[in-house]
Amino acid sequence: MSTRRRRQQNKKSVGAPTAPKVLKTDVEELTSIAGPSADGGSGEKHKPCQNSKLSKLTSKLTKADSAETGADINSEDKSSPYFSKVKSPEELDDSSVEDLGEAAQPKRLSRAFYEQSCEDLGKALLGQVLVRIHNGERLTGRIVETESYLGRRDKAAHSYKGKTDRNSAMFMDPGTAYVYNIYGMYCCMNISSQGEGEAVLLRSLEPVEGKGVMSTIRAANRKKDSPCKPMKDHDLCNGPSKLTQALKIDKASTNQVDLLSHDAIWLEEGEKVPAAKMVVSKRININYAEEWKDKPLRFYELGNRCVSVRDKEAEKLMKDS
The CATH number of whichever domain residue 237 belongs to comes to 3.10.300.10
Which residues partner with 134 through β-bridges? 137
Query: What is the rounded distance in angstroms from the CA atom of residue 208 to the CA atom of residue 195?
Result: 31
Q: At 10, is the pLDDT very low, low, confident or very high (cuts 50, 70, 90)? A: low
Kindly list the distances between the CA atom of residue 153 and the CA atoms of 29, 161, 283, 291, in Å, as whole numbers in the listed order.
109, 9, 16, 12
Q: Is 50 contained in some domain? A: no
Check residue 36 and give its pLDDT. Answer: 38
pLDDT-derived band at 2 (thresholds 50, 70, 90) equals low
Range of weakest confidence among 217-221, 274-278, 298-302 = 217-221
pLDDT of residue 321: 79
Whole-angstrom distance, CA of residue 185 vs CA of residue 207: 22
Quick check: is 23 in a domain? no
Q: What is the pLDDT of residue 320?
A: 87
Give CA–CA dist 239/149, Å, rounded. Answer: 17
Higher pLDDT, 321 or 99: 321
Number of domains the chain is built from = 1
Say if 133 falls within a structural domain: yes
pLDDT reported for residue 78: 41
8 Å CB contact between 42 and 36: no
Tell me the three state secondary structure of residue 103.
helix
Query: By C-alpha distance, which of 49, 25, 45 is closest to 35?
Result: 45
Tell me if 130 is assigned to some domain: yes
Phi, psi of 151 (to 5 degrees): 70, -140
What's the confidence (pLDDT) of residue 39? Answer: 38
Is there a domain that residue 53 lies in? no
The reply to whether 234 falls in a domain is yes
CA Rg, the chain, in Å? Answer: 44
Least confident of 76-85, 210-219, 285-294: 76-85
Local confidence band at 282 (pLDDT 50, 70, 90 cut-offs): very high
- Mark out the alpha helices in 159-274 (DSSP H runs): 211-220, 240-246, 251-254
Separation CA 264–CA 139 (nearest Å): 10
Of 205, 194, 207, 206, which Cα lies nearest the Cα of 148?
A: 194
The C-alpha atoms of residue 218 and residue 136 are separated, in whole angstroms, by: 18
Flag whether pLDDT at 76 surpasses 50: no
Angstrom distance (rounded) from CA 138 to CA 133: 5
The more confidently predicted of residues 98 and 171 is: 171
pLDDT digits over 198-241, tens only?
A: 999 999 999 999 999 999 999 988 765 555 677 899 999 999 99
Of the listed ranges 34-43, 224-233, 242-251, the one predicted with least confidence: 34-43
**pLDDT at 58 (0 to 100):** 52
Residue 35 pLDDT = 40
Mean per-residue pLDDT over the chain, rounded: 79
Nearest Cα residue to 146 out of 283, 261, 48: 283
Residue 89 has pLDDT above 50, yes or no: no
DSSP 8-state code for residue 208: E
More confident residue, 27 or 126: 126
Cα–Cα nearest to 249, from 217, 219, 223:
217
Is 294 a domain residue?
yes
Domain hosting residue 152, numbered range: 106-320
Please choose, from the candidates 143, 190, 147, the residue with its C-alpha nearest in 3D space to the C-alpha of residue 170: 190
**Surface-to-core class of residue 307, CB atoms within 10 Å of its CB (0-12 exposed, 13-18 middle, 19+ buried):** buried
Any idea which of 24-28, 78-82, 117-121 has the lowest mean pLDDT? Answer: 78-82
Percent residues over pLDDT 90 in the chain: 61
Range in 103-107, 120-124, 300-304 the model is least confident about: 103-107
Characterize 108-120 residue by residue with b for buried, 16 or more Cβ atoms within 10 angstroms of its Cβ, and e for exposed: bbeeebbebebbe
319 phi-psi bin (left φ>0, alpha ψ -120 to 50, beta other): alpha
**pLDDT for the residue 8:** 56
Round to whole Å and give the CA distance between 76 and 98: 31
Alpha-carbon span 134 to 254, nearest angstrom: 13
Tell me whether residue 18 is in a domain: no
